[in-house]
Structure 1
Amino acid sequence: MTRVLILSDSHGLTEELVEIKERHTVDYMIHCGDSELEMDAPEMERFYMVGGNTDMDNRFPEELTLTFNGLTFFIAHGHRHNVKGNIMTIAYRAEEENARVICFGHTHLAGAEKLGSQLLINPGSIRLPRNRSEKTYAIMEWESSEEIEVTFYTVSGEVVQDLTYRVSL
C-alpha cells in the first residue's frame, strides 16, 4: 500500500504542519503551494513542494512531475493554470507530462474527481477553507491503479466522510 499525504494553502502555519506530519505514516508528502515558508524551513522537510502565488521564496519550482509506485503525479499550485476558472488547463498540462494524478491548491476547495483517465485532487486548505467549515488535507492510498482511495482529514485529524473518494484509473 502506497500512501501520499497531500496538503496546500497552509499560509504560514507551522505547528499544524508538524502535527499533521507526525500523525500519519506515509510514503510521500506533497505541499501544493502557498506555505508562505522558506523552502528549507524545518516544517517543510520531507515535502515535495511547489510555489504558490503567496510564496516569496523563488527556489520553489512552479510545477513538479513525479512517479510514485507506478503512478505519475503532476503537482502545481494552480494559479498559473487558472484553476479558479476551470480545471481543463491544468488537466491538459498534466497530460503533456503523462501524469494520471493531478495535485493542486489555490482555490481552497477540497475535493477529488476523475476527469477522463486522470484523478484531480485539491486537498483544500488547512488555514482558510472555502465552501465548507473544515480545514482539510488529504491522503491518497493505493496498491494498484484499480483501487485508489482519497481520504480527507480535518486539521485535527478527523476523517471528513462526505469527501472520501474511491476510484480506479
Structure 2
Amino acid sequence: MKVLIMSDSHGLTHEISMIADRHKQEVAAMIHCGDSELERNDPHMSEFLAVGGNCDYDSAYPDDIVENISGKRFFVTHGHLYNINMTLMNLSYKSEETGADIICFGHSHAAGSEWIDGKLFINPGSIRQPRGRKEKTYAILEIGNDQLEIIYYDIEGKIVEDLRNAYQME
C-alpha cells in the first residue's frame, strides 16, 4: 500500500495536479502537509487529506489530521505550531497522544525522513521552494508487511536516490 505526501506548494496548481495524476492509480491516499495557499474547496486540493500551514488563510483547513490508512495511524500537520525548525520533540509528544505510527509534516521545506522510537517522521520537502537541496520534492511511502519504504521524487517524477530509506517495523 502506498501513500503520496507533499507539502509547501505555495500557490502551484498545475504541479499539484500533475503529481496527483501521475500517482493516483497506485496510491491509497494523498496527503498535503500545508502551505498550499489554495482554498480548501479548490479542485486541485479535492483528492488530498490536507492541513493548513502558516501561509494558508482558509479556516476550513484543520491544524492537524489523525487518519487510519491501511492499518497505520497517521498524524498530519504543517509543523509551524510544533516548532519543527528547532526540534521534533513536540511532534513526538503529539504522536504519543494520538497513537500515531507515521508523522507527516512540512514547513521547513527540507526533505527527509527519520525513525524515532518506533515512529516514522516524514517531511516531503517542497515542490516549489526546496531548502538544503536543489530538487523540488514530494514523497511516496510504501507500507509493507514488515517495513516502511520512503521514496522521494523530484517534480518531474524522477526518484531522488539519496533520500530513499527503508525502515524495519518493530
Normalised-by-shorter TM-score class: over 0.9
Displacement, 1:143?
2.5
- In structure 2, the partner of 1:123 is 124
- In structure 2, the partner of 1:10 is 9
- In structure 1, the partner of 2:46 is 45
Displacement, 1:168?
1.8
Residue 20 (structure 1) aligned with residue 15 (structure 2):
no
Give secondary structure in 2 for the equivalent of 1:74: strand
Gaps in structure 1 of 5+ consecutive residues: none
Whole-angstrom CA distance in 2 between matches of 1:155 and 1:18? 11
1:90-144 residue CA offsets vs partner (Å, 9 max, x unmatched): 1110110000100000000000110011100000000000000000000001122
What one-letter code is carried by the residue in structure 1 that aligns with 2:35? D
Give secondary structure in 1 for the equivalent of 2:19: helix
Displacement, 1:69?
1.1
1:25-53 residue CA offsets vs partner (Å, 9 max, x unmatched): 21100000000000010100110000000
Whole-angstrom CA distance in 2 between matches of 1:153 and 1:91? 26
- In structure 2, the partner of 1:150 is 150
Whole-angstrom CA distance in 1 between matches of 2:36 and 2:119? 26
Displacement, 1:71?
0.6
1:50-73 residue CA offsets vs partner (Å, 9 max, x unmatched): 000000101100000011111100
Give secondary structure in 1 for the equivalent of 2:30: strand
User: RMSD of aligned C-alpha atoms?
Assistant: 0.6
Whole-angstrom CA distance in 2 between matches of 1:100 and 1:168? 13
Whole-angstrom CA distance in 1 between matches of 2:150 and 2:135? 16
Q: Any runs of at least 4 consecutive aligned residues in structure 1 with deviations exceeding 4 A, and if so which?
A: none
* TM-score between both structures, scaled by the size of structure 2: 0.97
Whole-angstrom CA distance in 2 between matches of 1:50 and 1:79? 12
1:63-87 residue CA offsets vs partner (Å, 9 max, x unmatched): 0001111110000000000000111
